[in-house]
Amino acid sequence: MKKEKVMDWTTFIGTVAVLLFAVIPMMAFPKASEDIITGINSAISDSIGSIYLFMGLAIFCFVMYIAFGKYGNVTLGKASDKPEFNTFTWAAMLFCAGIGSDILYWGVIEWAFYYQVPPNGAKSMSDEALQYATQYGMFHWGPIAWAIYVLPALPIGYLVFVKKQPVYKISQACRPILKGQTDKFVGKVVDILFIFGLLGGAATSLALGVPLISAGIERLTGLDGKNMILRSAILLTITVIFAISSYTGLKKGIQKLSDINVWLSFVLLAFIFIIGPTVFIMETTVTGFGNMLRDFFHMATWLEPFGGIKGRKETNFPQDWTIFYWSWWLVYAPFIGLFIARISKRSTP
């Protein structure tokens, strides 16, 4: 009996090599590396930012067409198959994989940035800026973000549950395009670049989450939240938890961890909703949601084209926020797409 291959050493070694090639110069020349990365980011967001916004809106429209068009009733699996997870657990795993700890961080403070540096020429900390502050968070974390996640999940889920083709790597998901090159050099390059990009996205999430946890510990215990030993311990703890969760599999690890996280989130939301200004929270949420629906297509296409011309104020709001977010979702999209497809047996678009 042929033993199943559990480690793709070529992809692993290639990813480590690319990672070291990128990380070592950053560690040796941090300031120069920061300047280079900032310059690249600015060049991309300034020169092809319109492509990012158009792409995000196009993906959203395409996913809506799939969901409500003639393909909306296509089931991922046979009619006799049963869903692997109940609806609550399925949604919990989607929530934790898709936005996780990031929204706990940015959901609390993001509105303040919008309030201080608002879009569309609004004055800082004005009533108009306050309206934008209540709607832009929902927009950046809302429909287009999830549409970007769903886009790769649809073909991957179709291949896995309808065509019965094993898809465990992003190169395998690209088999209809790569064809004979899937298991060769080109496929390896695709996997290596995907993992490298995913590590960059994960590093961003950890860079946001660890300071949040350390600040909470400092507030509760008085320990120095900026202490590197404390932050290293937090990072190690997070890594161990996720490693154990992944090792024990979907049903024993990730499923239970996701359920616990979502229930804790519900408890936190209920506490804030009851103890906090309940009426204000309800009114702000409803108003912000309505404003987002009203301005949805404007926010999805606004690029501040006249900023900096003839003394007009230039905030770089689209580049710093909307384009950044669409880039962030794109980095995670292949991985989240694989995960969504894996847990969505007997689901429909």
Q: Could you please report the per-residue DSSP string of 153-192? A: HHHHHIIIIIS-----SHHHHTHHHHGGGTTSHHHHHHHH
User: Under the phi-then-psi rule, with left for phi > 0, alpha for psi from -120 to 50, and beta for the rest, what region is 26?
Assistant: alpha
In this prediction, the residues of the chain whose per-residue pLDDT falls under 70 are 1-6, 79, 101, 346-349
Is residue 32 a part of any domain in this protein? no
Question: pTM (2 decimals)?
Answer: 0.86
Is residue 41 a part of any domain in this protein? no
Q: How many structural domains does the chain have?
A: 1
The DSSP secondary-structure symbol of 76 reads S
Q: At what angle do helices 100-116 and 87-98 cross, to 10 degrees?
A: 60
Distance (Å, whole) CA 343 – CA 336: 11
Q: State pLDDT tens for residues 61-96.
A: 999 999 998 888 877 777 677 888 888 988 888 888
Is residue 283 a part of any domain in this protein? yes
In three-state secondary structure terms, 124 is: coil
Instruction: Give the pLDDT of residue 281.
Output: 94
Distance (Å, whole) CA 99 – CA 60: 18
Is residue 101 a part of any domain in this protein? yes
- Residue 111's domain spans which residues? 75-343
Instruction: Give the pLDDT of residue 2.
Output: 46
Instruction: Give the pLDDT of residue 280.
Output: 95
Contact 95, 269 (CB under 8 A): no
- Retrieve residue 243's tokens: 């490693």
Distance (Å, whole) CA 60 – CA 116: 29
For the stretch 18-26, contacts whose Cβ atoms lie closer than 8 Å and that sit 24 or more positions apart, written own/partner, are 18/192, 18/193, 18/196, 19/196, 19/199, 22/196
Nearest in space to 132 (alpha carbons), one of 112, 121, 118: 118
Instruction: Give the pLDDT of residue 119.
Output: 93
**What is the chain's percent helix, strand, coil content, to nearest 5?**
75, 0, 25
Is residue 291 a part of any domain in this protein? yes
Nearest in space to 146 (alpha carbons), one of 201, 91, 109, 68: 91
Is residue 67 a part of any domain in this protein? no
Contact 161, 151 (CB under 8 A): no
Instruction: Give the pLDDT of residue 347.
Output: 60
Is residue 200 a part of any domain in this protein? yes
Is residue 46 a part of any domain in this protein? no
Instruction: Give the pLDDT of residue 6.
Output: 61
Contact 347, 75 (CB under 8 A): yes
